[in-house]
Amino acid sequence: MAAANYLPSEDQFLCSICLDVFTDPVSTPCGHNFCKNCITQHWNTDDQCQCPMCKKLFNIRPELQVNTLFSEMVAQFRQSTQQKASSSSSQPQVSTPGEVPCDICTGTKLKALKSCLVCLVSYCEIHLEPHLTMSGLKRHLLIDPVENLEDRMCTKHDKPLELFCKTDQTCVCMLCHVSDHKMHDVVPLKEGYEGKKAELEAEIQQMIQKRRLKIQEIKRSVDLSEKDADREIAEGAQAFTALKESAERGQANLIDTIRDKQNTMKRKAEVCIEELEQEISELRKRSTEVEQLSRPEDHLHLLQNVEFLNTHHPTPTKDWTVVTFCPLYEGTVTRGVSQLEETLSKETRKLVESELKRVQQYAVNVTLDSDTAHPELLLSNDGKQVHHSDEKECFSYSRDRFTHQYRVLGEQSFSSGRFYFEVQVRRKTEWTLGVARESIRRRGYNRLSPYNGYWTIWLREGNEYAALTEPLVRLSLKSRPQKVGVFVDYEEGLVSFYDVDAAALIYSFTGCSFTEKLFPFFSPECNDDGKNSAPLIISPVRVK
């Protein structure tokens, strides 16, 4: 069966009607083959019996014949196709979108297995074979398949980019080396690759190391934060326990005081009642005597014995109308609550003192920036004092200078972490202190508020304190601060003000969102004809 081993092309085993491999192939008198079912249905739906291939017309529907030899060939082809399908995993794969195709394949492009940097061509497994077997091609440099091999050619000389210029940090060809890069440090591409790879790896390792150090720093911060939290919890628990015990003692003392007063009044009432009952008993005896002396129609007998009656049974003379039993509790609760408030004030002071000591650990050295000062502000040579003068100073031009309001910023800026500074405000009737973001307006009038980039408090008219929020919050302080502490926690979004001498919290801005540099902010305000001429003084921080 030599004919059975002959396999024509795949197209010869496809039915021209269904375009699939023949099933039960039959032949027409004109010699063309079709699936038996396909040609039968075709003729059933057509008025004429015509060959779909050569268009030969049959007057009478011809009898279809089975071509035994062709049927065997179709069966053998089908079996061969199935075998190829089962072993397709070991066959070269067709290139799909996203994969590098073979540059040599015509028609269906197979997936490239390697790219040659000498030939600048990508090869599939079949077309790669010469590079693996021929001695001349074996010396070519093969890499994993890449696209755009033309990018590896010098655009100026149309030569392969085989060298690396370390001076200009660029890839060059041989002609570039002898022309534009003759005096440069040029090395082979492989050496440049290895050097650059080592450089990048070192840079990456350095970045990794920096991040590891940052992780350690963060972990240390977390540990410190946990210790701070534990300390805060312990101090808070101690303070609240003391307040609770104080409140309980105050409540117990209040109850005891009221009950003692109640018992005292009760004992007094019992004595009075006993005395009154005694008098009632005496009066009843007197009444009995009066009845005995009151003989019918013997008026003389009663009158003659009145003196005896007064001697032996005298009439009680105590004036009970002046004896009262009004409750004596008024003011007792008020006094108890006042004592509790005094205790609460003492405990609060202890807490604020402890908090103030902690924030003072973040003290920074702040000096005034003369480039931002209003022309009528006078700064000390050391940059620690500022006050208002009616005469303008000869300051140089600065776009950062305040032009319409008596303001000045600190030289130091902060964009992370915590910082603290103290300012003496003694003998001043007006001042403004706080922090401001870098982008605040310096020219014209600018309202102080967090919306405009200011987190500040002020004093006006000698005794009117306020936090400059929207709307303004008036502050009621027990004493006039002589030294004000300003604390900022950038990440926490917190700005707090303290009366340093009284160890009292004046006000806190919370929930702030800082995205820029923050600068210390100062305004001594107008000198008011000498009434407010005292300077603002940045004081050294002394932890008590």
473 three-state secondary structure: strand
Identify the burial level of 140 via C-beta atoms within 10 angstroms of its C-beta, where 0-12 means exposed, 13-18 middle and 19 or more buried.
middle
How far is residue 173's CA from residue 158's CA, in Å, rounded to a whole number?
Answer: 9
More confidently predicted of 336 and 526: 526
Q: Is the pLDDT of residue 348 over 80?
A: no
187 three-state secondary structure: strand
What's the pLDDT tens digit per position in 212-268? 998 998 888 888 888 878 887 887 788 778 778 877 877 888 788 778 888 888 888
What is the 3-class SS of 22-37, one letter each residue?
A: CCCEEECCCCCEEEHH
Q: What are phi and psi of 199, to 5 degrees?
A: -65, -45
- Two tokens at 91? 């066959």
Residue 171, H or E segment: strand 170-172
According to DSSP, residue 147 is labeled S
Residue range 5-15: mean pLDDT, rounded: 63
Residue range 278-283: mean pLDDT, rounded: 83
Mean pLDDT lowest among 360-369, 391-400, 446-455, 471-480: 391-400
Residue range 203-211: mean pLDDT, rounded: 92
Angle between helices 332-360 and 189-293 (to 10 degrees): 160
* 388 confidence band (pLDDT: 50, 70, 90): very high
Answer whether 486's CB lies under 8 Å from 518's CB.
no
Q: What is the pLDDT of residue 354?
A: 80
414 three-state secondary structure: strand
Mean pLDDT of the chain, nearest integer: 83
Contacts of residue 358, defined as CB under 8 A and 6 or more positions apart, other chains included, come to none
Q: What is the pLDDT of residue 6?
A: 47
Q: Is the pLDDT of residue 81 over 70?
A: no
Q: What is the pLDDT of residue 20?
A: 73
Answer whether 537's CB lies under 8 Å from 420's CB.
no
Answer whether 166's CB lies under 8 Å from 185's CB.
yes
Cis before 25? omega within 30:
no
Q: Which residues pair with 387 in a beta bridge?
A: 378
Q: How far apart are the first and last CA of the chain?
A: 113
Q: What is the pLDDT of residue 510?
A: 94
How far is residue 374's CA from residue 379's CA, in Å, rounded to a whole number?
Answer: 10
